[in-house]
């Protein structure tokens, strides 16, 4: 699975959106500076989801509406900043909207200059073929001091790789995370459905104060 060089990334960016193998990354605010030898720089967007303390003593991401109850949406325009306290996390997104063709996959990594401040932007770095949207960034300040985030600043590096065999371009896109333009909170499946498929007949409901196994029907 070869990594695309700056030359091949640029060639694909210049294709029209209807051409086979075309790549869309927009806006490119500094087109001559964002391409490295084997990657392209991505900037931090202006919307964030801040984790909030849930009503219960835990967060159950499989619960309906859990995302809205556990995150607060805020907007920091270009020129402003967001303070991330030490050992705290926030969901952000790339400023750039990305559309991958059917023969490319990608990986986003923290820029080395950012990583040296002990800021991590990706815990789910893989990007599948045919993805389109802004990339959600799981930003974690693992340092001992608060860190400022400036929307518009380069924060990640996108590495693109060619598949041995392109995926079907006509396949239905069913992923939950297709087309986002802001950070996406988790949306996990109901544990009953997941457990039922693997033959588990009972499970412990975390929302009940005592052990009361629920039989799956």
Residues 162/103, Cβ–Cβ less than 8 Å? yes
How far, in Å, CA of 169 to CA of 150, rounded? 37
How far, in Å, CA of 104 to CA of 23, rounded? 9
Tell me which of 96, 122, 138, 201 is the catalytic residue.
138
How far, in Å, CA of 144 to CA of 179, rounded? 35
How far, in Å, CA of 169 to CA of 151, rounded? 34
Q: Which residues pair with 206 in a beta bridge?
A: none
To which residue do tokens 């109850």 refer? Answer: 69
Q: Is the alpha carbon torsion for 27, 107, 178, 13 positive or negative?
A: positive
Is 138 one of the catalytic residues? Answer: yes
Q: What is the distance in angstroms between the CA of the first residue and the CA of the last residue of the chain?
A: 45
Question: What element of type H or E holds 140?
Answer: strand 132-141
To which residue do tokens 């392109």 refer? Answer: 166
Question: Which residues have a catalytic role annotated?
Answer: 138
């Amino acid at each position: 699975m070869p990594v695309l060089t700056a030359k091949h990334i640029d060639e694909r960016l210049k294709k029209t959106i209807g051409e086979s193998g075309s790549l869309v990354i927009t806006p490119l605010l500094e087109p001559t500076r964002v391409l490295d030898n084997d990657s392209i720089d991505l900037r931090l967007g202006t919307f964030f989801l801040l984790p909030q303390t849930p009503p219960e003593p835990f967060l159950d991401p499989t619960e309906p509406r859990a995302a809205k109850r556990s995150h607060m949406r805020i907007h920091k325009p270009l020129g402003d900043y967001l303070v991330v306290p030490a050992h705290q996390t926030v969901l952000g997104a790339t400023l750039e909207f990305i559309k991958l063709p059917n023969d490319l996959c990608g990986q986003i990594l923290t820029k080395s200059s950012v990583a040296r401040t002990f800021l991590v932007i990706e815990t789910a770095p893989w990007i599948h073929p045919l993805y389109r949207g802004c990339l959600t960034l799981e930003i974690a300040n693992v340092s001992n001091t608060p860190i400022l985030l400036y929307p518009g600043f380069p924060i990640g590096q996108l590495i693109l790789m060619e598949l041995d065999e392109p995926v079907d371009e006509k396949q239905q896109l069913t992923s939950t995370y297709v087309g986002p333009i802001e950070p996406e909170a988790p949306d996990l499946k109901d544990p009953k459905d997941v457990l039922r498929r693997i033959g588990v007949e009972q499970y412990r409901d975390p929302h009940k104060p005592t052990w009361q196994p629920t039989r799956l029907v």
